[in-house]
């Protein structure tokens, strides 16, 4: 197990390094990034000074070496707008995003797992309704859902604030928008896993032993059936990292998603690069932890 | 039975969408860019007036723009799936055929690609490339080719183990012939199923990028652009935001239902519904 963790950790670091390099080359692919970063009407001398200051006049390879060297030392560039280390801005925005992500994750589990179990163990009218809702939910764009909720709950009924961060009330709509899609995915996967396991022979054996149905379900079936759900919850972090961009923009939530969108608008690309790199590194480590959790709950998996 | 009805409705709806995309100019007396400024923000009139779904802030007919928006969504969905599928398949085939170092390098690139959260990558590339319809399609291709490569590589490796491949190698068939005559046809069904399930996600992604302003640009009536424009008038004119969203939902759900149907017919065990 330890050997597996170390191996995966090294691999994760490697992948993260490659991903950071990819960010560097995507930016350079379009040519001189000066034009991406300076205002559109900047004069020639401003542009030349800027290029020199940022090191864009050096050869690409030496720029790359500088970039990676600085990255290793925790220097992800300086915000052009706030004249502050970009990493600081990202870290300041982190708690808001973490709060939103965790509450969306909690919502998806609390809704998705019970619904999945109910529809998984018996089929009938309720099962059909929930299945139809799941299919429908996968087609709903989150930004549209957010706007419609603002229209109904803020504009029409004045129950919830349109945006910002503060009380529990501020958290409700962003959480629903973020957790909507993943709730439906978790419902779906739980359902198919539970219904598959429920037909297996070990369940019949447990019943034949005269165990109560609740024991059969909780102790025998769910322990096995919920394993894929753990992986899915881990994977949904990737969906949330994309979802925050939209959700935070709509609800003016002061997190990393809004920081990224605003920085793109302001052409503050050092911040965009820092935020994207930061998220990629975090995401890789969460994937690693999901794998470890999976090995831990399923004794059959011993990755080495 | 009910499932059949729903699935056939989805197929029928999708065919209608294609028809609407093709014949949009013949279905409406209005144009997408010229509005009647004396009729701004008219609420939906149903069949009681000239503007069935109302007009927007420039007095343009919402229904007309929705109909034309079908073109953008279908074009983006199909073109990017096609491009990404082609690129991913090529990479997967090369990796599985050459094996060794080439395989390792290509698959590590796939790993790197998949270490980016999907929508974040889309927004990032779109912002770097600059906003336009063409760039949205390129962006979505770059962001989605990797799973195809993984899929095709896996399939190719397993198909290659079959005796009929050995037989054709024995009679002297070229690698080219084996790939195109034996491997691709056998991997085709899984590619078709995966692609059809991707279209819905890409249509939503296009709308989302356009909504944020880094995709299709106004006055082109992408549904995402329409929702973005409607956002400003959310307090007074809900219909500007509401209807494009409904179009996105109907389109995505019908495409997904068709994809699920294909999946089930190619492998009944994998039915998730």
Nearest residue of B to residue A261 by CA position? B212
Q: Check CB contact under 8 Å for A23 and B231.
A: no
Taking the C-alpha atoms of residue A131 and residue A211, their distance in angstroms, rounded to an integer, is 30
Q: How many CB pairs under 8 A join A and B?
A: 137
Phi/psi at B224 (5° precision): -65, -40
Residues of A in contact with B227 (CB under 8 A): 141, 143-144, 147
User: Under an 8 A CB cutoff, do A245 and B120 touch?
Assistant: yes
The string of DSSP letters for A13-41 reads HHHHHHHHHHHHHHHHHTS-THHHHS-TT
Instruction: Give the residue-averaged pLDDT of B171-192.
Output: 87
**Measured on CA atoms in the order A257, A20, A56, B120, is the torsion positive or negative?**
negative
Q: Which domain holds residue B240?
A: 2-31+49-272
Residue B44 inside a domain? The answer is no
In this predicted model, what pLDDT tens digit does every residue of B86-137 receive, in sequence order? 999 999 999 998 888 999 899 988 988 888 889 988 998 998 888 899 999 9
Which residues are CB-neighbours of A118 under 8 A, at least 6 positions away? Answer: A126, A127, A130
Which residue's structure tokens are 């409705």? B9
- Residues 241-280 (A) with a CB less than 8 A from some CB of B: 241-243, 245-246, 249, 260-261, 264-265, 272, 276, 279-280
Residue A30: predicted pLDDT: 67
Q: Which of A77-91, A290-304, B17-31 has the lowest mean pLDDT?
A: A290-304
In a domain, B36, yes or no: no
Task: Quote the number of domains for chain B.
Answer: 1
Residue A58: the pLDDT is 79
Chain B residues near residue A22 by CB distance under 8 angstroms: 112-113, 116
> Torsion over CA of B20, B23, B28 and B33, rounded to 10 degrees?
90
Q: Give the structural domain span for A297.
A: 1-304
Write out chain B residues lying below 8 Å of A195, CB-based.
Answer: none
| C-beta of residue A301 within 8 angstroms of C-beta of residue A14 | no
pLDDT value at B258 more than 70: yes
Q: What is this structure's pTM?
A: 0.89
Instruction: CATH number of the domain at A227, please.
Output: 1.10.3720.10
Question: How is residue B50 written in tokens?
Answer: 């000239």
When scoring B69, B110, B113, B124 by the number of chain A Cβ atoms within 10 A, the one with the most, hence best to mutate, is B124
How high does pLDDT run on average in chain B?
A: 88
- Model pLDDT for residues A117-151, shown as the tens digit of each residue: 888 887 777 777 888 888 888 899 999 999 999 99
Cβ separation A141–B127 shorter than 8 A: no
User: Percentage of residues in chain B with pLDDT exceeding 90?
Assistant: 45
Judge whether B37 lies within some domain.
no
**Per-residue model confidence as pLDDT tens digits over A249-289:** 999 999 999 999 998 888 787 888 889 888 888 888 888 88
Query: So what's the ipTM on this one?
Result: 0.89
In this predicted structure, the answer to whether residue B270 has a pLDDT above a threshold of 60 is: no
- Tally of domains within chain A: 1
Does a structural domain hold residue B119?
yes
Residue A5 and residue B87: Cα distance in Å, rounded? 33
Contact residues on chain B for A19, CB-CB shorter than 8 A: 112, 115-116
CATH number at B111 reads: 1.10.3720.10
- So what's the pLDDT on residue A31? 66
Residue B162: its pLDDT value, please? Answer: 87
Nearest-CA residue of chain B relative to A240? B117
Sign of CA dihedral A33, A37, A41, A44: negative
Q: Is residue B76 part of a domain?
A: yes
Confirm whether B72 is domain-assigned: yes
In angstroms, the separation between the Cα of residue B251 and the nearest Cα of chain A is 8
Q: Which residues, 6+ apart, have CB-to-CB distance to B143 below 8 Å?
A: B116, B118, B121, B122, B125, B205
Report which of residues A273 and B208 the model is more confident about: B208
**What's the pLDDT band for B271 if we cut at 50, 70, 90?**
very low
> From A278, which residue of chain B is nearest by alpha-carbon distance?
B116
Which residues of B are less than 8 Å from A144 in CB distance? 227, 241, 244-245, 248-249
- Which residues have a Cβ under 8 Å from the Cβ of A207 and sit 6 or more positions away? A213, A216
Residue B36 φ then ψ, to 5°: -100, 105
pLDDT in tens, A146-192: 999 999 999 899 899 988 888 889 999 999 999 999 999 999 899 88
Q: Distance between CA atoms of B257 and B1, rounded to whole angstroms?
A: 15
Q: Which of A7, A165, A66, A142 is nearest to B249 (CA)?
A: A142
């Amino acid at each position: 197990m330890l050997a597996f963790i170390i191996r995966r950790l090294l691999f994760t670091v490697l992948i993260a390094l490659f991903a950071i390099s990819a960010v560097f080359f995507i930016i350079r692919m379009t040519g001189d990034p000066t034009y991406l970063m300076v205002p559109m009407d900047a004069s020639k001398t401003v542009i030349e000074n800027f290029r020199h200051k940022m090191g864009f006049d050096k050869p690409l390879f030496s720029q790359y070496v500088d970039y990676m060297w600085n990255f290793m030392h925790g220097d992800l560039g300086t915000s052009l707008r706030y004249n502050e280390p970009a990493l600081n801005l990202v870290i300041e925005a982190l708690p808001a995003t973490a709060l939103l992500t965790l509450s969306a994750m909690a919502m998806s589990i609390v809704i998705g797992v019970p619904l999945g179990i109910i529809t998984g163990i018996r089929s009938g009218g309720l099962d059909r309704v929930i299945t139809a809702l799941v299919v429908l939910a996968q087609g709903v764009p989150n930004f549209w859902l957010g706007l419609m909720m603002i229209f109904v709950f803020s504009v029409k009924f004045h129950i919830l604030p349109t945006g910002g961060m503060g009380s529990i009330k501020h958290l409700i709509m962003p959480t629903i928008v973020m957790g909507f899609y993943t709730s439906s995915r978790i419902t779906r996967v739980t359902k198919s896993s539970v219904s598959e396991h429920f037909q297996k022979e070990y369940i019949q054996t447990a019943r034949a032993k005269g165990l109560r149905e609740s024991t059969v379900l909780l102790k025998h079936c769910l322990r096995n059936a919920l394993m894929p759900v753990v992986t899915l919850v881990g994977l949904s972090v990737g969906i949330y990292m994309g979802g925050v961009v939209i959700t935070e923009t709509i609800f003016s939530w002061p997190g990393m998603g809004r920081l990224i969108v605003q920085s793109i608008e302001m052409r503050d690309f050092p911040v965009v690069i820092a935020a994207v790199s930061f998220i990629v590194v975090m995401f890789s480590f969460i994937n690693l932890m999901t794998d470890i959790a999976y090995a831990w709950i399923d004794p059959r998996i011993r990755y080495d | 039975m009910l499932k059949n009805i729903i699935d056939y409705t989805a197929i029928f709806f999708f065919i209608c969408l294609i028809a609407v995309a093709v014949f949009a100019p013949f279905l409406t007396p209005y144009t997408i860019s010229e509005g009647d400024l004396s009729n701004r923000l008219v609420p939906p009139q149903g069949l009681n007036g000239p503007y069935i779904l109302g007009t927007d802030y420039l007095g343009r007919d919402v229904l007309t723009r929705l109909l034309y928006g079908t073109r953008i969504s279908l074009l983006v969905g199909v073109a990017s799936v096609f491009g990404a599928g082609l690129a991913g398949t090529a990479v997967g085939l090369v990796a599985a055929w050459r094996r060794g170092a080439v395989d390792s390098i290509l698959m590590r690139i796939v790993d790197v690609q998949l270490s980016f959260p999907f929508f974040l990558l889309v927004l990032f590339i779109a912002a770097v490339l600059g906003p336009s319809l063409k760039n949205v399609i390129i962006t979505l291709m770059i962001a989605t080719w990797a799973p195809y490569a993984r899929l095709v590589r896996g399939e190719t490796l397993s198909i290659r183990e079959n005796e009929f491949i050995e037989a054709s190698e024995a009679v002297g068939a070229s690698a080219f012939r084996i790939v195109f005559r034996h491997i691709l046809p056998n991997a085709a069904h899984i590619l078709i199923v995966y692609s059809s399930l991707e279209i819905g996600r890409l249509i939503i992604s296009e709308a989302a990028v356009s909504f944020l302003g880094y995709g299709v640009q106004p006055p082109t009536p992408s549904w995402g652009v329409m929702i973005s424009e409607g956002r400003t008038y959310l307090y007074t004119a809900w219909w500007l935001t509401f209807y494009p969203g409904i179009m996105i939902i109907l389109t995505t759900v019908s495409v997904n239902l068709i994809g699920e149907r294909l999946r089930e017919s190619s492998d009944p065990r994998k039915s998730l519904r």
